Chain A
Amino acid sequence: MTLRLPRRLSATAAAYVVCAALFAFATIHSSSFASAGHVRQLLVFASFIGFAGLGETLVILGGGLDLSVPWLMALGGMQLSIWASGGMPSGLAILLLVGIGALIGIVNGLGVTLLRIPPIIMTIGTGALVEGYLMKVGLNSSSAVTAPKAAQTLVENHVAGIPVVALVWLGAAIVTWWVLKRTVFGRSLYATGANEAVARLAGTRVIAVRVTTYAASGAAAVFAGILLAGYIGQAYLSMGAPYLFSSIAAVAIGGASVLGGSGSYWGTVAGAGTLTILAALLPTFNLSDAALNIVYGLVILLAVGASRFARRGSA
């Protein structure tokens, strides 16, 4: 009997091999790495990249790119804090903000599809508009606003030893998987990313599909910003900056093609895990941010190489 992995899985599987190997290595190096408390913390960290990368995965699957993620994250954190300190109930504020994120995403999607503006440019543009707005409300980049209790509760509480945010993340991942694999939208998205012209001829509503991915990306990015603000305890203009890189890097490490049409959200989850484990592991070797950046780059090359190898092996 031979063991055969389903072909579609292999690029994602490669990402999990990288992630698991790193975790094993970290555990061997320092046994406290795998302690419940530390894993819990890693899960919370990973969920920030996980949500920022969720929308990015959908957009990239459809052949696009969303560079407005960092500013939408800052919007989520800062506006929530401003509204909450003004007396608005946090639950309502979070819902409104996620809705606003989706609306900004729709603007991105319409610009890309109807006006045919390249995704890179459209999302840089809306991102900068949001940045300008945040500079206005935050007055300057160094001013930070305190995050409300609700956002802090989301990242601090846990159920049965598992952080609430990780459960929400798992739920989001399952929904995303189901939508991608089991719905017309999911099929249409892969078809659009693989070949837009062919998808259109086959009757796919290409514009609706792509706009939806940008809307999801806007909503997810804002939500990630809310979580991040809850974790840090405050919100500031540059809080999302590292996620410009890590949201895309998680997708790339997860084995998705940056040209669209192939990949999965489970891959991005592994990518988020990989980036998070590395960030936690390197300081135990007394290595700084500098080394972390270098290792991030090398891991992207390694993971992309591995997923190519996996794909070639199964082709």
Chain B
Amino acid sequence: MSAVATPTREKARAAGISLKRLPRGQWGTVLLLAALVVADFAVQPNLADVDQIGLLLQTAMPAVLLAAAQTLAVLSRGVDLSVGSVMVTTNVLVATKLGGIDGSHMGLIVPIVAVGAAAGLINGALIAYGGLEPFVATLASWAIFNGVALLILPTDGGAVPTTITNLVIGKVGPIPSSYVGVAIVLAFWWYLRRSPLGVRILAVGSDESRAFLNGIDVRRTKLLVYALSGLIAGLAGIYLAGATSSGTPAAGDGFLLPSLAAVVIGGTSLAGGRGGIGLSVMGVMVLTFITDLVTNLQLPSWVAVVANAAMLLLVVSLRSLPNVLSRKETP
């Protein structure tokens, strides 16, 4: 155990990464989320119920997964514009290839999960070995996978096996499974952050040439970042299929900009190397609770859109204010 951990720690230190210190602004995110939760509970006391919160988490789960996928790309100082379209690709595969609600071809779920990872691998190969900017490579694959999804299922429809639906809307013992979903995402990040790969991702994101000089295979790291991002985005598509009981080939684009917003509200730096999936999960929940609060106050839906946007701009302004005042350079 320590034989693995020690060189990882050393490499992390050499690359200028602290594994202990959490990013600045994390407490701000925690306080913001706590304030919103308290406000939402005050407006809607019924919400303080295991099942109600479970439903909220279930609605947020696809966005949570996409934000997690986006976070990995952003941490490596990249971006993944294809998260939404990879999501709808696996989404329509689930709705068309598993044999309808009976799920008579349930075994095909394994290759469908692999499709997400393969989509990510293509992104990663274009970026790491093709030398394309992440923005350009994923701009192209954004269109390509949206096309693939539409090719498989031209309009909303299809049928999702009840096994998947029950998994998404069901319970594990007394608690809704969405809690477990969020817990798995957080546990994954907890593990990844301490793993050699996690350290490499943060190192590459904070300073690519320094990471290279420390013996990190920058290209392989980037390849794995986008492969993981695709894998997670693909899982989001499977989850979404379960949550909505159908395939939604055109739903991807609506998830793209919120995934970036959630990452930034959480506190992960777009300049790479600082932040984490845990923060992004909080970012998604901030946006989810704002929307829920607006709904519970019985305000029209445009208020939620404006409030989410205002929150995004407010949070990033407050974060960059110290830098602006101290005239420090921010990328």
Contact = CB atoms under 8 A, between A and B. Distances in A.
Interface string B292-330: 000000001111011011101100110011011000011
A115 B320 CA distance: 7
B144 interface: yes
Contact of A241 (B148, B253, B324): B253
B143 interface: yes
Chain B's interface: helix, strand, loop or mixed, by majority? helix
Contact of B260 (A116, A121, A295): A121
A217 B291 CA distance: 30
Given A115-B317, A117-B316, A244-B253, A297 B147 contact: yes
Contacts of B136: 252, 258, 300, 304
B133 A258 contact: yes
B135, B139, B260, B317 interface centre (most CB from chain A within 10 Å)? B139
B144 A128 contact: no
B150 interface: yes
A171 B133 CA distance: 32
B150 A289 contact: yes
A248 B143 CA distance: 12
Interface residues of B, number: 47
A259 B79 CA distance: 13
Given A135-B302, A294-B143, A118 B316 contact: yes
Contact of A128 (B141, B142, B308, B316): B308
A294 B264 contact: no
B31 interface: no
A196 to B, nearest CB: 9
A241 B254 CA distance: 10
B309 A115 contact: no
Contacts of B131: 308
Nearest to B306: A132
A292 interface: yes
A297 B302 contact: no
Chain A's interface: helix, strand, loop or mixed, by majority? helix
B140 interface: yes
B261 interface: yes
Interface string A125-142: 111110111011000000
A128 B147 contact: no
A249 B316 CA distance: 27
Given A124-B260, A129-B306, A300-B139, A135 B154 contact: no
A133 B302 contact: yes
B151 interface: yes
B39 interface: no
Contacts of A288: 150-151, 154
Nearest to B328: A116
Interface in B25-55: none
Contacts of A290: 147-151, 154
Contacts of A296: 140, 143-144, 147
Interface of B: 79, 126, 131-133, 135-137, 139-151, 154, 253, 257, 260-261, 264, 270, 300-303, 305-306, 308-310, 312-313, 316-317, 320-321, 323-324, 329-330
